[in-house]
Protein backbone atom coordinates (compact mmCIF):
# COMPACT_ATOMS: atom_id res chain seq x y z
CA UNK A 1 0.00 0.00 0.00
CA UNK A 2 1.46 3.32 -1.07
CA UNK A 3 -0.03 6.45 0.39
CA UNK A 4 0.57 10.14 0.77
CA UNK A 5 -0.70 11.85 3.89
CA UNK A 6 -1.37 15.58 3.98
CA UNK A 7 -2.25 17.60 7.02
CA UNK A 8 -1.43 21.00 8.42
CA UNK A 9 1.03 21.11 11.32
CA UNK A 10 -0.85 20.00 14.42
CA UNK A 11 -3.45 18.04 12.44
CA UNK A 12 -2.37 14.74 13.96
CA UNK A 13 -0.59 13.44 10.89
CA UNK A 14 2.18 11.76 12.90
CA UNK A 15 -0.26 9.74 15.00
CA UNK A 16 -2.30 8.62 12.01
CA UNK A 17 0.82 7.76 10.00
CA UNK A 18 2.04 5.60 12.89
CA UNK A 19 -1.27 3.76 13.01
CA UNK A 20 -1.15 3.12 9.26
CA UNK A 21 2.36 1.74 9.69
CA UNK A 22 1.21 -0.68 12.37
CA UNK A 23 -1.98 -1.77 10.63
CA UNK A 24 -0.53 -2.33 7.18
CA UNK A 25 3.11 -3.21 7.90
CA UNK A 26 4.32 -0.31 5.79
CA UNK A 27 6.98 2.32 6.55
CA UNK A 28 6.54 5.99 7.28
CA UNK A 29 8.75 8.14 5.10
CA UNK A 30 9.08 11.66 6.41
CA UNK A 31 11.32 13.81 4.24
CA UNK A 32 11.66 16.32 7.10
CA UNK A 33 13.00 13.52 9.32
CA UNK A 34 15.33 12.22 6.59
CA UNK A 35 16.71 15.69 5.94
CA UNK A 36 17.23 16.32 9.64
CA UNK A 37 19.06 12.98 9.90
CA UNK A 38 21.33 13.97 6.96
CA UNK A 39 21.96 17.33 8.63
CA UNK A 40 22.89 15.63 11.92
CA UNK A 41 25.18 13.24 10.05
CA UNK A 42 26.84 16.26 8.43
CA UNK A 43 26.68 14.83 4.89
CA UNK A 44 27.10 17.35 2.03
CA UNK A 45 23.38 17.10 1.28
CA UNK A 46 22.61 17.50 4.96
CA UNK A 47 24.77 20.61 5.27
CA UNK A 48 23.06 22.20 2.30
CA UNK A 49 19.62 21.23 3.54
CA UNK A 50 20.23 22.46 7.09
CA UNK A 51 20.70 26.06 6.04
CA UNK A 52 17.51 26.03 3.99
CA UNK A 53 15.51 24.27 6.71
CA UNK A 54 16.74 26.70 9.36
CA UNK A 55 15.26 29.51 7.29
CA UNK A 56 12.00 27.69 6.66
CA UNK A 57 12.57 27.34 2.90
CA UNK A 58 12.06 24.35 0.67
CA UNK A 59 15.02 22.10 -0.03
CA UNK A 60 15.51 21.88 -3.85
CA UNK A 61 13.36 19.31 -5.62
CA UNK A 62 16.30 17.33 -7.05
CA UNK A 63 17.74 16.70 -3.58
CA UNK A 64 14.45 15.64 -1.99
CA UNK A 65 13.43 13.54 -4.99
CA UNK A 66 16.77 11.69 -4.92
CA UNK A 67 16.39 10.98 -1.20
CA UNK A 68 12.87 9.59 -1.63
CA UNK A 69 13.80 7.60 -4.71
CA UNK A 70 16.68 5.89 -2.86
CA UNK A 71 14.59 5.29 0.22
CA UNK A 72 11.65 3.60 -1.53
CA UNK A 73 14.10 1.18 -3.13
CA UNK A 74 15.11 -0.16 0.26
CA UNK A 75 13.68 -3.59 1.17
CA UNK A 76 11.56 -2.39 4.09
CA UNK A 77 9.64 -0.07 1.75
CA UNK A 78 8.75 -2.78 -0.77
CA UNK A 79 5.56 -3.66 1.07
CA UNK A 80 4.49 -0.03 0.93
CA UNK A 81 4.87 3.34 2.57
CA UNK A 82 3.10 6.39 3.81
CA UNK A 83 4.78 9.58 2.69
CA UNK A 84 4.71 12.47 5.11
CA UNK A 85 6.00 15.90 4.09
CA UNK A 86 6.47 14.80 0.48
CA UNK A 87 5.55 15.82 -2.18
CA UNK A 88 5.56 19.53 -1.41
CA UNK A 89 5.70 20.72 -5.03
CA UNK A 90 4.03 19.56 -8.23
CA UNK A 91 7.46 18.68 -9.63
CA UNK A 92 7.98 16.34 -6.68
CA UNK A 93 4.53 14.80 -7.22
CA UNK A 94 5.33 14.20 -10.89
CA UNK A 95 8.72 12.72 -10.02
CA UNK A 96 7.03 10.39 -7.52
CA UNK A 97 4.61 9.20 -10.21
CA UNK A 98 7.53 8.59 -12.56
CA UNK A 99 9.60 6.66 -10.03
CA UNK A 100 6.63 4.49 -9.09
CA UNK A 101 5.70 3.89 -12.74
CA UNK A 102 9.24 2.65 -13.33
CA UNK A 103 8.62 -0.02 -10.71
CA UNK A 104 5.19 -0.83 -12.13
CA UNK A 105 3.60 0.66 -9.01
CA UNK A 106 1.35 3.57 -8.22
CA UNK A 107 -0.15 5.48 -5.34
CA UNK A 108 -3.21 3.94 -3.82
CA UNK A 109 -4.58 7.05 -2.17
CA UNK A 110 -3.73 10.55 -1.03
CA UNK A 111 -5.33 11.39 2.27
CA UNK A 112 -5.82 14.92 3.48
CA UNK A 113 -6.60 15.56 7.15
CA UNK A 114 -8.82 18.62 7.21
CA UNK A 115 -8.64 20.77 10.33
CA UNK A 116 -9.96 24.03 11.67
CA UNK A 117 -6.77 26.01 12.16
CA UNK A 118 -8.23 28.66 14.44
CA UNK A 119 -9.04 25.82 16.85
CA UNK A 120 -5.52 24.39 16.50
CA UNK A 121 -4.06 27.81 17.30
CA UNK A 122 -6.35 28.19 20.31
CA UNK A 123 -5.34 24.73 21.56
CA UNK A 124 -1.63 25.46 21.39
CA UNK A 125 -2.10 28.89 23.02
CA UNK A 126 -3.94 27.27 25.94
CA UNK A 127 -1.34 24.48 26.21
CA UNK A 128 1.54 26.95 26.34
CA UNK A 129 -0.27 29.09 28.95
CA UNK A 130 -0.85 26.01 31.09
CA UNK A 131 2.78 24.89 30.80
CA UNK A 132 4.01 28.34 31.77
CA UNK A 133 1.59 28.41 34.72
CA UNK A 134 3.01 25.05 35.89
CA UNK A 135 6.53 26.38 35.49
CA UNK A 136 7.35 23.83 32.78
CA UNK A 137 9.81 24.62 29.99
CA UNK A 138 8.21 25.40 26.63
CA UNK A 139 10.02 24.29 23.47
CA UNK A 140 11.09 27.22 21.32
CA UNK A 141 9.17 25.90 18.30
CA UNK A 142 6.09 24.92 20.29
CA UNK A 143 4.17 28.18 20.47
CA UNK A 144 1.40 29.97 18.56
CA UNK A 145 3.79 32.19 16.59
CA UNK A 146 5.86 29.25 15.34
CA UNK A 147 2.70 27.28 14.54
CA UNK A 148 1.29 30.23 12.58
CA UNK A 149 4.48 30.40 10.55
CA UNK A 150 4.35 26.69 9.76
CA UNK A 151 0.66 26.93 8.86
CA UNK A 152 1.42 29.81 6.49
CA UNK A 153 4.14 27.77 4.81
CA UNK A 154 1.76 24.82 4.52
CA UNK A 155 -0.85 27.02 2.81
CA UNK A 156 1.65 28.45 0.46
CA UNK A 157 3.01 25.07 -0.64
CA UNK A 158 0.17 22.59 -0.47
CA UNK A 159 -2.76 23.76 -2.66
CA UNK A 160 -1.14 23.06 -6.06
CA UNK A 161 -0.09 19.59 -4.91
CA UNK A 162 -3.52 18.81 -3.43
CA UNK A 163 -5.02 20.03 -6.68
CA UNK A 164 -2.70 17.75 -8.67
CA UNK A 165 -4.02 14.71 -6.79
CA UNK A 166 -7.64 15.90 -6.83
CA UNK A 167 -7.48 16.06 -10.62
CA UNK A 168 -6.14 12.52 -10.71
CA UNK A 169 -9.08 11.39 -8.56
CA UNK A 170 -6.74 10.17 -5.82
CA UNK A 171 -7.53 12.71 -3.12
CA UNK A 172 -9.60 11.64 -0.10
CA UNK A 173 -10.40 14.15 2.63
CA UNK A 174 -10.94 13.11 6.21
CA UNK A 175 -12.17 15.26 9.11
CA UNK A 176 -9.06 15.69 11.24
CA UNK A 177 -10.97 17.46 14.02
CA UNK A 178 -12.76 14.27 15.06
CA UNK A 179 -11.38 12.26 18.01
CA UNK A 180 -8.15 10.43 17.12
CA UNK A 181 -9.78 6.98 16.92
CA UNK A 182 -12.58 8.33 14.73
CA UNK A 183 -10.00 9.84 12.35
CA UNK A 184 -8.26 6.46 12.18
CA UNK A 185 -11.59 4.74 11.47
CA UNK A 186 -12.37 7.27 8.73
CA UNK A 187 -8.98 6.69 7.11
CA UNK A 188 -9.45 2.92 7.29
CA UNK A 189 -12.91 3.27 5.75
CA UNK A 190 -11.52 5.33 2.89
CA UNK A 191 -8.82 2.76 2.23
CA UNK A 192 -11.18 -0.21 2.46
CA UNK A 193 -13.56 1.48 0.04
CA UNK A 194 -10.85 1.64 -2.54
CA UNK A 195 -9.66 -1.89 -2.02
CA UNK A 196 -6.56 -0.55 -0.32
CA UNK A 197 -6.98 -2.56 2.85
CA UNK A 198 -6.83 -5.80 0.85
CA UNK A 199 -3.79 -5.06 -1.18
CA UNK A 200 -0.11 -5.25 -0.32
P1 LIG B 1 8.78 18.87 8.03
O2 LIG B 1 9.35 18.08 9.17
O3 LIG B 1 7.99 18.02 7.08
O4 LIG B 1 8.00 20.08 8.49
O5 LIG B 1 10.03 19.43 7.19
C6 LIG B 1 10.98 20.27 7.78
C7 LIG B 1 11.72 21.04 6.71
O8 LIG B 1 12.40 20.15 5.83
C9 LIG B 1 10.84 21.87 5.79
O10 LIG B 1 10.56 23.13 6.34
C11 LIG B 1 11.71 21.98 4.54
O12 LIG B 1 12.74 22.93 4.73
C13 LIG B 1 12.36 20.61 4.49
N14 LIG B 1 11.55 19.67 3.70
C15 LIG B 1 10.90 18.56 4.16
N16 LIG B 1 10.27 17.92 3.17
C17 LIG B 1 10.50 18.64 2.04
C18 LIG B 1 10.09 18.50 0.70
N19 LIG B 1 9.30 17.49 0.30
N20 LIG B 1 10.54 19.43 -0.19
C21 LIG B 1 11.33 20.44 0.18
N22 LIG B 1 11.74 20.64 1.45
C23 LIG B 1 11.34 19.75 2.38
Which of 9, 59, 90 to mutate to test ligand 1, by most ligand atoms within 8 A of the CB atom?
Answer: 59
Angstrom distance (rounded) from CA 64 to CA 149: 22
For the Cβ of 64 lying below 6 angstroms from any atom of ligand 1, the answer is yes
Angstrom distance (rounded) from CA 19 to CA 184: 8
* Residue 108: closest CA among 175, 172, 18: 172
Query: Cβ distance 111 to 6 under 8 Å?
Result: yes
Nearest-CA residue for ligand 1 atom 15 is 32
- Per residue in 94-110, pLDDT tens? 999 999 999 999 999 99
Write down the pLDDT at residue 150.
86
Q: Where are the domains of the chain?
A: 2-26+79-115+158-198
Specify the CATH number of the domain 2-26+79-115+158-198: 3.40.50.300
Considering the entire predicted model, what is its pTM? 0.90
- For 73-134, the DSSP string reads TSGGGTT-EEEES---SHHHHHHHHHHHHHTT----EEEEEE--HHHHHHHHHHHHHHHHHT
Which of 58, 90, 142 to mutate to test ligand 1, by most ligand atoms within 8 A of the CB atom?
Answer: 58
Which is more confidently placed, 167 or 125?
Answer: 167
Amino acid sequence: MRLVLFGAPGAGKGTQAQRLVEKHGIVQLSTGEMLRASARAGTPVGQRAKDIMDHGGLVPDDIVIAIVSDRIDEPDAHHGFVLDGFPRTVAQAQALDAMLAQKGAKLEAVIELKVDESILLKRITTRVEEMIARGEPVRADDNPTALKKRLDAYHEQTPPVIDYYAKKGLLRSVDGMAPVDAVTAAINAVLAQHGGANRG
